[in-house]
Structure 1
């Protein structure tokens, strides 16, 4: 019953408030539209009196506008940050490519600075596959018979001897490393001049075998190829002597086996084989025939 009575009063009061508000808005509109000095003074007086006091009402609006601007600024900063991240990732990729190119360039320059016999020419190849295993250590090059590669030629990196060609295809060739168990090369230990055989045993440090006089060899001595047997050209740097844990003399190879990117194949020619011994060995002088007259005289 009381609720019905409240509803009876709420309807007319709502209509009265709406009417007053409409009249106020209409009066304000008319006052602001009337072009009269008195009305203008009234408007200015009203603005001077009431508008400054509405600063507190504008604070929430100002805060909201500031938050919207900050959010838009944050969105722009986030987009810029993402763009910078993408550019940084690209720069890292470019840096990695530049470092790799710099390393490759340094290795190629090092290969060009290796002093070899002027008669020896070379072909540079890129290492395609490293097929090292506990039983076989070799690499594959992207040069073959079409490039004039011949089985048995020596290969070097920018520092020292790496191995020999063992198997040639049309566009690829296989290099047996000095560390392989099938590798045997004659070497000279300097400065003593001792000759020996460098034998691979699938370890990073091949063994020095068949040394003439081990007492004249010291760790740190320089090891070069001897050229005996025409296997390799003479004078190629192999490494330095060291003494292993097993007390055997070994060689620390000069070639960087951890980074075999380019190899230099030396065009070596086999030594001329001597088939005719006539020009070297003087023929025996003919012996004079036996003197038979003496026997006849005595008879």
Structure 2
């Protein structure tokens, strides 16, 4: 009986403990949920400044990255600008070389191409230094052209370079021809931008825009090289405006022109060939007479007795000489 009671007491005790623990767990969970509901708005309010600070720090990092990226793009842009300038410079140089190749010269004229490496000009001397040596066939007096036309002539040569005197120099004298009139003149430099046009014929009538080319007189320069056009000065005198802009010229040609020293026309050649053929033919001998050794006898029409005189002369020549003793007898 006592053991039964003890078991009942133990069982009731365990059941009470289990009931109380379960009830306590429910109360704890409920209390935790209430506290969570009460603290949620406060946590939300407290998280806003933290989020703002976090966003500010992130934006600061982005700003630093943007500044770094901007600096990198600026450096890349400067490099691309340098490449662009170099490409434009090469494009202009290629265009000048192509234009220089288009300059029309006689096929028989040899030339040397060079680059202007210096400007020895000043207030009284207008000249260029070209990197073409004397070994390239350059001689004093040769014409120098660029992609627009004549710019001057060679005045001296050396082992590594040559000196070119420009058309505008005070010492420049170039024989020219004004078209379409064909008037011959001399382009005279006076250290100004527009050389003078002197020694024109009295009947010359020039108009602004008339073309000026080389005449070829003197044998140093080939004819028909473009030089410029005619412009009128304030005093009414004609001046030369060159086709070339000397301050922009970089590449030139030095023309190795040989003046023709012998000119043979077609009619002269035919006459010379006929003379040679006539000289090669044998001279026909006269009948019953010996060929004349030095002089030829010519009968002139209308002169009577000429033929008789000829026959008597032949007879006298044919008669034998009579000895002096037989003549006395």
Q: 1:199 to 1:214 in 2, by over 3 A?
A: farther
CA distance in 1 between partners of 2:247 and 2:85 (Å):
18
Shift, 1:159, TM fit:
0.8
Do structure 1's residue 156 and structure 2's residue 145 form an aligned pair?
yes
Name the residue aligned to 2:134.
Answer: 145
Q: Equivalent residues in 2 for 1:275-286 (5 A)? A: none
What residue is the counterpart of 1:238 in the other structure?
227
1:60/1:216 Cα in 2 relative to 1: closer, same or farther (>3 Å)?
A: same
State the shift of 1:99 in Å.
1.2
Q: 1:81 aligns with which of 35, 48, 70?
A: 70
- TM-score, L = length of structure 1: 0.75
Contact 2:142–2:254 (8 Å) recurs in 1: yes
Supply the distance in 2 between the matched residues of 1:58 and 1:91 (Cα, whole angstroms). Answer: 48
Distance 1:43 1:147, change over 3 A: farther
**Cα 1:197/1:48, change in 2 over 3 Å:** same
Structure 2 distance, partners of 1:83, 1:214, is 72
1:102-154 deviation digits (Å, cap 9, x = unpaired) = 11111111111121111112221111112221100001111112322222211
Indicate if the aligned counterparts of 1:127 and 1:263 stay in contact, CA closer than 8 A: yes
Structure 2 partner of 1:4: none
Match of 1:220 among 201, 209, 222: 209
Deviation at 1:48, TM superposition (A): 3.5
Q: Distance in 2 between matches of 1:227 and 1:254?
A: 18
Secondary structure at the residue paired with 1:228?
coil
Using a 3 Å threshold, how does the CA distance of structure 1 residues 234 and 48 change in structure 2: closer, same or farther? Answer: same
Spell out the pairing of 1:115-130 with structure 2 (5 A cutoff): 115-130=104-119
Asked whether the 8 Å contact 2:109–2:255 carries over to 1, the reply is yes
* Conservation of the 8 A alpha-carbon contact between 1:242 and 1:250: yes
Is this contact kept in 2: 1:138–1:175, CA < 8 A? Answer: yes
Q: Deviations over 1:176-204 (max 9, x none)?
A: 00000111010000111100000001111
Query: Aligned pairs, how many?
Result: 240
Which structure has the larger Rg over C-alpha atoms? Answer: 2
Partner of 2:50: 61
Corresponding residue of 1:32: none
Matching residue within 231, 238, 241 for 1:249: 238
Deviation at 1:51, TM superposition (A): 2.8
Taking the TM superposition and a 5 Å limit, the aligned residue runs for 1:1-299 are 42-213=31-202, 215-272=204-261
Question: What is the TM-score with the length of structure 2 in the denominator?
Answer: 0.69
1:129·1:139 contact (CA, 8 Å) conserved in 2?
Answer: yes
What SS does the corresponding residue of 1:66 show, helix, strand or coil? helix
User: Aligned-pair distance for 1:42?
Assistant: 5.0
Measured on the aligned residues, the alpha-carbon RMSD in Å equals 2.0
CA contact (8 A) 1:120 1:268 kept: yes
- Greater mean deviation of Cα atoms: 59-68 or 135-144: 59-68
CA contact (8 A) 1:157 1:256 kept: no
The answer as to whether partners of 2:143 and 2:154 remain within 8 angstroms in 1 is yes
Cα drift, residue 49 of structure 1: 3.1
Contact kept? 1:128, 1:142, Cα under 8 Å = yes
Q: Contact 1:140 / 1:174 at 8 angstroms: preserved in 2?
A: yes
**Structure 2 segments unaligned to the other structure (5+ residues):** 1-24, 269-329
Matched-pair contact (CA < 8 Å) for 2:183–2:204: no
